[in-house]
Amino acid sequence: MVKHLVALGIKFIILSIPLFILWPLLGSAAFLTRLILGLSLTLITYVINDLVFLPQIGSLSTSIIDGILVALVVFIGQFFTRNMEISFIAAIVLGILIGLGEWYFHKFVKSAVLSP
Give 59-75 pLDDT, tens digit per residue. Answer: 999 999 999 999 999 99
* Among candidate residues 37, 15, 23, the one with its CA nearest the CA of residue 86: 23
Are 67 and 18 contacting, i.e. CB atoms less than 8 angstroms apart?
no
Report the pLDDT averaged over residues 29-41: 90
Helix (H) or strand (E) holding 86: strand 84-86
Q: Taken in order 49, 55, 58, 59, is the CA torsion positive or negative?
A: positive
Give alpha helix (H) positions in the chain: 2-17, 23-26, 31-45, 54-57, 59-77, 88-108
Give 76-100 pLDDT, tens digit per residue. Answer: 989 998 888 999 999 999 999 999 9
Query: For position 47, what pLDDT does the model report?
Result: 92
